Amino acid sequence: MSVELKKEALEEYLIFLKIERGLSKNSIESYQRDLNQYITYLDQEKINSWDEINRYIILNFLENQKNGLKSDNSLIRMISSLRRFHQFLKQENLSKEDPMLYIETPKKAQTLPKVISTNQIDILLSIPDTSNKIGIRDRAILEVMYATGIRISELVNLKLEELHLSMKLIQTIGKGDKERILPIGEQGIRWVEYYLEYSRPKLEMKSVQTSPFVFLNLRGTQLSRQGVWKKIKKMVQQAGIKQNVTPHTLRHSFATHLLENGADLRVVQELLGHSDISTTQIYTHITKHRLKEVYDAYHPRA
């Protein structure tokens, strides 16, 4: 089986995920990255047929991935990708057996999401230089992310028509193309309106085409995930925050601060767009953990 035939099977599978399963672009790209690594390994090992693959080949591949410093959770995702792919190959009669039947999925390590305090949030929000168009944009981005718990992919794909600021709402398309309506507070509204009035028109002038997206880069086109990530990393350093803060940290902090102030878990689940409340429940562990830290630090008999 040539490299081309392997790639052809992968392309068919990706089309299946898009058309039959209706997965989002990000999910499909994640599967594609995993399976490209798998196919590269099969080529290196001179595997010429899907039916040549057995559990030992897959275990060797996974060991190879682990030696490449893949995290446990990355390996779990890879196993899931391989499991679904081999089910597809058997279903389409491209292979006779499914070697993944004999591969166990290790339990996912439950790690508490990293959060920052409300004081650190205030310091971070004060970092952008709001005397210029980029600083105004960056302040608006931080305000929206912390005010709504929006994912970075949802932020960069947010469109002008999805802003309903007079009603204090924004709408967004999340994982699985599910729409959410999110409330946004006065501070978030204020900075978004300020950005739309004073910054965005200047940025859009740099492009020959008008853009439907809210947040633009210096070229007047859609801001990228990488662009936002780099900006936040730089602002975190300027704020003197020693923790490793990513765009997702703002989402975690949003959820944790809501629960700490008495929000109902079901409400937080809706705001985050979690399909299963067990995903949201991890934040209750954070609040309990932080309560214990406060108790240990301040109670005279702790």
**Closest to 139 measured CA to CA, from 154, 117, 124, 150:** 124
| 118-298: CATH class | mainly alpha
What are 151's two structure tokens?
């994912």
The SS3 call for residue 200 is helix
For 247-274, how does the pLDDT look when each residue is reduced to its tens digit (9 = 90+)?
888 988 988 888 888 888 888 888 887 7
Delimit the domains of the chain by residue range.
Answer: 3-102, 118-298
Residues recognised as catalytic: 151, 175, 248, 251, 274, 283
Please say whether the beta carbons of 221 and 207 come within 8 A: yes
Q: How far is CA 240 from CA 229, 236, 243, in A?
A: 17, 6, 9
Tell me the torsion sign for CA atoms 285, 287, 291, 293. positive
Mean pLDDT of the chain: 86
Say whether 118-298 and 3-102 share the same fold. Answer: no
Measured in whole angstroms, how far is the alpha carbon of residue 93 from the centre of its chain? Answer: 34
Using 50 as the pLDDT threshold, list the residues of the chain that sit under it: 302
Q: What is the CATH number of domain 3-102?
A: 1.10.150.130
pTM over 0.75: no
pLDDT value of residue 302: 46
Q: What is the pLDDT of residue 194?
A: 96
Instruction: Find how far residue 76's CA is from the centre of its chain.
Output: 17
Return the exposure string of 108-133: e unless at least 16 CB atoms fall within 10 Å of the residue's CB, then b: eeeeeeebbeeebbebbbebbebeeb
- The arrangement of strands across the sheet holding 163-164 comes to 163-164, 169-173, 179-183
